[in-house]
Structure 1
Amino acid sequence: MIETRRAVAGDAAELVRLRAVMLGAMAGQPVEPGPWQQEALAMLRARLAEPVPTMAAYVVDVPDGVGLAACAVGTVDLRLGGPANPSGRTGYVYNVVTDPACRRRGFSRACMSALLDWFAERGVSTVDLRATADGEPLYRELGFAPVSHTSLRWVAGRR
């Protein structure tokens, strides 16, 4: 069995490193270092230390090494409830990644399963994510299904 643990603020730098790995894989090229890393580091340190957390990260440590092998990060968002989700509590998963040297061992699956349990413990009945082609089979196996909504994004300054 793969041992996962809940990330703590001290894991923030490794979570940012893994985020760069994920973003680079999605872009097809390495992600340049920049201010985004310090912003992400500060946010993770603060959010992972909240007394009543609305963010969690589950991680697998590098076997026989130093650092993180994999992670799954998610947040709980409170939205206006509706018939399918009366409480309005909605989870969002992002930053699911395994270090290239540690892939194909079930680490992302273990992190995702732990994160989904965390959501369930908080009464979250709806969880969303965006999947890459590589990640989609895992998410489908965990019970995720396509939704019929079009995903759009507004970016300030772009019209």
Structure 2
Amino acid sequence: MDHTFLTVRPATITDLGSLVELRAHLLDGTSASYSSRTPDDAMRWRAAYRAWLTSRLSESDCVQILAAEHRESGQVLGCATAIIDQRAPATGCLNGLSGWVQSVVVEPQWRNRGIARQLMQHLLRWFANRGVGTVVLQSTEEAGALYQALGFTVSGERLLIRQEAQA
């Protein structure tokens, strides 16, 4: 597939608005457990996400936020986030470094053109360069085939979530 129209790069503070709007495709109006249920929910996660991005875009070696930018227009077409956690060592993860991928999102009109694959390949190289051998993600049904093609397997483990109501 021709990817000459695309540049994958670290996101910057000037991408803040685009990153929030891209993530809204995941967090607003879906049936996922993490989706906002009301306009107030949406407003709160957006403000919290903006603050989180602002603090992570410039200083964190344990967080990588990528933007996929159209070379001609400069439009941010997609994004992806990688986070490194320090966990207790386990088989397959003796150094305790565990990667988490989240918010892999591509603008709907640009999907199925290899953008998410490119974002993921960059994140997987970033993890590998930091000694992270185990990477985990939660996927939508639509994206499952992409992740499996990149070497991810369904774990068979149950993902349990406990969320406390926040004031």
Fold conserved (TM > 0.5)?
A: yes
- One-letter code of the match for 1:35? R
Task: Give the SS at the match of 2:17.
Answer: helix
Structure 1 stretches lacking a partner, 5+ long: none
- One-letter code of the match for 1:139? Y
Question: How much is the aligned-residue C-alpha RMSD, in angstroms?
Answer: 2.3
Out of 132, 156, 163, the residue aligned to residue 124 of structure 1 is 132
Task: Give the SS at the match of 1:3.
Answer: strand
Change (3 A) 1:65 1:103: same
Out of 62, 69, 86, the residue aligned to residue 54 of structure 1 is 62
1:86 — aligned with what?
94
Between stretches 135-144 and 33-42, larger displacement belongs to 33-42
1:16 — aligned with what?
20
Task: Give the SS at the match of 2:116.
Answer: helix
CA displacement at 1:26 relative to structure 2 = 4.0
Instruction: Return the alpha-carbon distance in structure 2 between the equivalents of residues 65 and 17 of structure 1.
Output: 17
- One-letter code of the match for 2:126? W
- One-letter code of the match for 1:117? R
Instruction: Return the alpha-carbon distance in structure 1 between the equivalents of residues 31 and 159 of structure 2.
Output: 19
- One-letter code of the match for 1:69? L
| Cα shift readout 1:19-58 (whole Å, capped 9, x = no counterpart) | 00123474399974412101101101111111x4211112
Between stretches 122-131 and 26-35, larger displacement belongs to 26-35
C-alpha contact 2:7 2:70 (8 A) present in aligned 1: no
Change (3 A) 1:156 1:24: closer
Equivalences for residues 31-46 of structure 1 within 5 A: 32=39, 33-46=42-55
Provide runs of 4+ in structure 1 moved above 6 Å. 28-31
Out of 144, 161, 164, the residue aligned to residue 156 of structure 1 is 164
The answer to whether residue 117 in structure 2 is matched with residue 109 in structure 1 is yes
Task: Give the SS at the match of 2:7.
Answer: coil
Instruction: Return the alpha-carbon distance in structure 1 between the equivalents of residues 27 and 70 of structure 2.
Output: 20
CA displacement at 1:66 relative to structure 2 = 4.2
C-alpha contact 2:7 2:71 (8 A) present in aligned 1: no
Instruction: Please give the TM-score of this superposition, normalised by the length of structure 1.
Output: 0.88
Instruction: Please give the TM-score of this superposition, normalised by the length of structure 2.
Output: 0.84
